[in-house]
C-alpha cells in the first residue's frame, strides 16, 4: 500500500510538478537575465531538496560513523576466558531459564538491557534510535562483560540506516560494511558451548 502511494505521488505529482517548475524557471531566467540554465538549476535544486534533502547527508554520516566508531573486537577468546574461570565448565547457559534480563532503560528511542549468565558474565545491549540530525540512523552497541573484573570480553558497535518510508534510502538500509555482527553472535555462542562442554578445547 505504501509503495503504491509513493508511486502515485512521484509519477503523477512530484515529477510532473518538478518538470513544470524547472521549465518555467528556465524560460523566466532566460527571458529576464539571459541565463536560463541558472534558473532551471536553482529550481531543480529546490525541488530535489524538498524531498531528498537528507539523502547525501545520511550516507555521509553513516559511512563516517562506521569508519570511526563501528567495529567488532575480541579482547579475550572464549578459550582464554574459560581457562581463567574453570569453575564455569559444565554450566548450561544455552537454556532461557539460565539468563536474567534486566532493563536499565526501556524507552523507544533509547533502550538498554542486560542478560546475565549467573554471577560470571553479562551481555549488555544498547539501542539508540535517530542519533543524527536527520533522525534516520540508529546505533547498536553490544558487549559481553566479566561480572567480577568488569573487563569487556568482546564487543560490537554497529550503525544502521532505518527509515522504512524513505524508499530512496532503501539500497543503503544495512549495517556497517566493516562490521560483522554475526561474528559477535558466533563468539558468544562458542563461549556458551565451551562452558557447556560441547566444543573441543584445542
What is the full DSSP assignment across 131-161? -STTS-EEEEEEEEEETTT--EEEEEEEEEE
The Cβ of residue 171 has, within 10 Å, a number of other Cβ atoms equal to 9
What is the structure's pLDDT at 1? 67
Packing angle, helices 15-33 and 36-52, rounded to 10: 150
Q: How far apart are CA 176 and CA 65, in angstroms?
A: 9
- All three cell numbers of 99, joined, read 539468563
- All three cell numbers of 85, joined, read 574461570
pLDDT in tens, the chain (202 residues): 677 887 788 888 999 999 999 999 999 998 988 889 999 999 999 999 999 999 999 999 999 999 999 999 999 999 999 999 999 998 888 766 667 889 999 898 999 999 998 889 999 999 999 999 999 999 999 999 999 899 999 999 999 998 777 888 877 777 898 787 889 999 999 999 898 886 655 4
Contact 131, 69 (CB under 8 A): no
Q: What is the pTM of this model?
A: 0.80
Q: How far apart are CA 164 and CA 136, in angstroms?
A: 10
What is the structure's pLDDT at 60? 94
Nearest-CA neighbor of 177 among 73, 56, 54, 64? 64
Amino acid at each position: 500500500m505504501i509503495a503504491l502511494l509513493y508511486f502515485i505521488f512521484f509519477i503523477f505529482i512530484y515529477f510532473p510538478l518538478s518538470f513544470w517548475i524547472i521549465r518555467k524557471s528556465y524560460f523566466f531566467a532566460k527571458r529576464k537575465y539571459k541565463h536560463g540554465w541558472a534558473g532551471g538549476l536553482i529550481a531543480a535544486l529546490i525541488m530535489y531538496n524538498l524531498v531528498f534533502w537528507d539523502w547525501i547527508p545520511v550516507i555521509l554520516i553513516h559511512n563516517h560513523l562506521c569508519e570511526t566508531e563501528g567495529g567488532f573486537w575480541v579482547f579475550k577468546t572464549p578459550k582464554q576466558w574459560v581457562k581463567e574461570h574453570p569453575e564455569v565448565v559444565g554450566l548450561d547457559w544455552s537454556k532461557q531459564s539460565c539468563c536474567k534480563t534486566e532493563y536499565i532503560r526501556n524507552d523507544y528511542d533509547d533502550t538498554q538491557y542486560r542478560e546475565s549468565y549467573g554471577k560470571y558474565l553479562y551481555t549488555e545491549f544498547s539501542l539508540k534510535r535517530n542519533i543524527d540530525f536527520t533522525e534516520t540512523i540508529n546505533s547498536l552497541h553490544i558487549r559481553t562483560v566479566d561480572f567480577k573484573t568488569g573487563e569487556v570480553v568482546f564487543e560490537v558497535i554497529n550503525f544502521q540506516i532505518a527509515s522504512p518510508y524513505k524508499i530512496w534510502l532503501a539500497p543503503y538500509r544495512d549495517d556497517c560494511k566493516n562490521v560483522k555482527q554475526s561474528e559477535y553472535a558466533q563468539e558468544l555462542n562458542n563461549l556458551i558451548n565451551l562452558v557447556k562442554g560441547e566444543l573441543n578445547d584445542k
